Structure 1
Amino acid sequence: MAQTEQRAAPAAPAGHSVTAVAARMRELRASWPPADGVAVFNNVYLTVTEEVGRNIGRRRFPDRRGAATLDAVFAERYLAAVDAVAAGRRPPACWRPLFQYRHHPGVRPLQFALAGINAHIGHDLALAVTDACRLLDCEPAALEGDFHRVGDILERLEERIREELMPGPDLLEIVDPLTHLIGSWSLERAREAAWSAARILWGLRELPGLAEEFRDGMDASAGLVGRYLLTPLR
C-alpha cells in the first residue's frame, strides 16, 4: 500500500505538475501568518491538492494524465493571482475581495476559506477546463469524469472544512449571522455553473470577443459573491 501511495502522478504537459503546485503552496504556507485570510484559503487548497494527488497516484482516475493536467492548470490560476498581488498588479476581480480583506479582524476564517473557494470555482475552474483541453487536444467531454471526481473530493473536504473552521457551538443557533452567510452559497451549484461555463467558453473559442466578454462577466460575478461572503461579522 505504501508503494502505491508514493507512485508519482503521470506526466502532465510540460510545465504543469501537481507536485510543483503543491510545493509552491507549502512555500506560501511557511511565509504567511496563519491568521492571514489568504493563508487560510491556501491551507484549505493545499489539502485538496494533496488529496487529488494521492487519488491520482492510487489510480482512482481513469485518465490520470487528464486529471493531473486539469488539477495543475487549475491551481496555477490561483498561484498567478498570488504572484500578481506580490508584484503590485491587480489580480482578477474574483480574487480581489480576499486579498483586500485578508487582515480584517471582523472576518472569520471560514469566510476566508469559502471566499477563496468561490473565486476559484466561480471563475478559475471553467478557464482551467479550457486550458486543459487545449493542452491535451481534447473536447471538454473528455475531461467531464475527472472534473466531477475532483469536485467530489472538494465537496467532501468542504464539509470537513466547515466543521473545523466553525468558531464554536453558537453557530448552531439560527440567529448567528455566519449561519445565514455560509448557507447562502453552495459548492455544488458553483460546480454545476462552472461546468456549463466551460462548455460555453469552449464553444466560443472561435469568437474571442464574445469569449472575453463572457469571462469578464463571470469574473465580476464571482468577485461580487466573494465580497458578500467576506462581510465583516464582528
Structure 2
Amino acid sequence: MPNQNINTIDDVINALNQIITSSEKDESPLGYFAALYLQVTLRVQEGIKNNEFQNGPRMEKLDVIFAKRYIDAYTFYQVGKPVTLSWLKAFGFSYNWRPIVLQHLLIGMNAHINLDLGIAAAEVSKGHDIEDLHHDFNKINEILASMVDQVEKDLTSIWRPLKSIIKWTKKADSFLIDFSMEKARDGAWKYAKSIAGLSGNDLQKMIQKRDQKVAKIANLIINPGLIINLLFFLIRLGERGSVSEKIKILTNKHTSSPS
C-alpha cells in the first residue's frame, strides 16, 4: 500500500510503482491504470525539468494534488474507507474478468480526468486567478494527447487486431470518441472554473454533484450496449498474457509481447 506522505512528483512516482508492484503480485487489473498513469507522470516530470511549462513549481504542485486524489482513493478502497462513487465504480470493475484492458483504462481515466482534474486545478489556483493556469493546463493536455499513440501500440501488443477492429466498427469508434481524452479535459477545465473560489459545503456539494454525473459515464463504460459488449468480449477472448504481463507492457517493462 502506498506511503501517503506525498509532497513531490518523485513521491508520486514511488507511490505509483508501489501500486504497480502490488498489482503485478496479486494479478490485479488495478495495475493497468497505475501503469498508464506512471508513464504520464514521468512525461510531466520530464516537461518540468525541460521548462516546458510557464510555472514549473506550480505544475509539480498540481501534479501532486491531482495524483493524490487517485492514490488516496486507491489506499482508502484497500482498507474499506469511503471513496468517491466514480472511483468506487472503477475499483469494483477490477473484480470482473470479462472487461478488456481498454475498458479498465477508460474507467480510470473517467474518474481521474472528469472528476479529479478539475478539483486539482481549482485547488492549486486558490488565491489566484484560475485563468493564470490555463496555458499550463493546455500544455499538460498536449502531453497527454501525445502519449495516445504509445497507448494504442501497447494495447495492440496485448491484442493485435484491436486497432483494425475499432476502425472497422463505426459504433465502437463512436464509443471511444465519446470518452476521448480531449472531450474529458475540456470538461475538466470548465468544471475547474465553475468551482474555483468555492470552499466548505458549497464546494463539497458541487463535487458530489459532479461525482454522480461522472459515475453515470462509468456505467456506460461498464455496459456500452449489446454490440460493443459483444465486440469487447471477442477482444477479451483474444487478449494474450497474464494480468502482470499486460501491466509490464503498459509500463514498457516488457521485452516481448505475451503469448
- The alignment's TM-score, normalised by the length of structure 1, stands at 0.84
Backbone CA RMSD of aligned residues: 2.2
In structure 2, the residue matched to 1:50 is 42
Note closer, same or farther for the CA distance 1:15–1:139 as it changes in structure 2 (3 Å cut).
farther
- Out of 148, 168, 172, the position equivalent to 2:164 is 172
- Out of 185, 191, 196, the position equivalent to 1:191 is 185
In structure 1, the residue matched to 2:17 is 26
- Out of 116, 119, 123, the position equivalent to 2:111 is 119
Pairing 1:126-205 to 2, within 5 Å after superposition: 126-134=118-126, 137-166=127-156, 167-169=159-161, 171-173=163-165, 174-175=168-169, 178-203=172-197, 205=198
In structure 1, the residue matched to 2:101 is 109
Deviation at 1:149, TM superposition (A): 1.0
Note closer, same or farther for the CA distance 1:142–1:175 as it changes in structure 2 (3 Å cut).
closer
Distance 1:116 1:66 in 2: 24
Distance 1:15 1:169 in 2: 40
Distance 2:190 2:54 in 1: 22
Q: What SS class does the counterpart of residue 104 from structure 1 fall into?
A: coil
Q: What SS class does the counterpart of residue 172 from structure 1 fall into?
A: helix
Please say if residues 6 and 12 of structure 2, whose CA atoms lie closer than 8 Å, have aligned partners that are also in contact.
no
Amino acid at match of 1:182: L
Amino acid at match of 1:188: E
Runs (5+) with no aligned partner, structure 2: 224-228, 234-259
Deviations 1:177-215 (A, max 9, x none): 754532331211111111111111014x16x44432221
Distance 1:230 1:42 in 2: 19
Deviation at 1:33, TM superposition (A): 2.4
Deviations 1:34-91 (A, max 9, x none): 8522200000000000100011011111211111111111001000101110111131
- The alignment's TM-score, normalised by the length of structure 2, stands at 0.77
Larger deviation, residues 66-75 vs 224-233: 224-233
Deviation at 1:24, TM superposition (A): 0.7
Please say if residues 56 and 64 of structure 1, whose CA atoms lie closer than 8 Å, have aligned partners that are also in contact.
yes
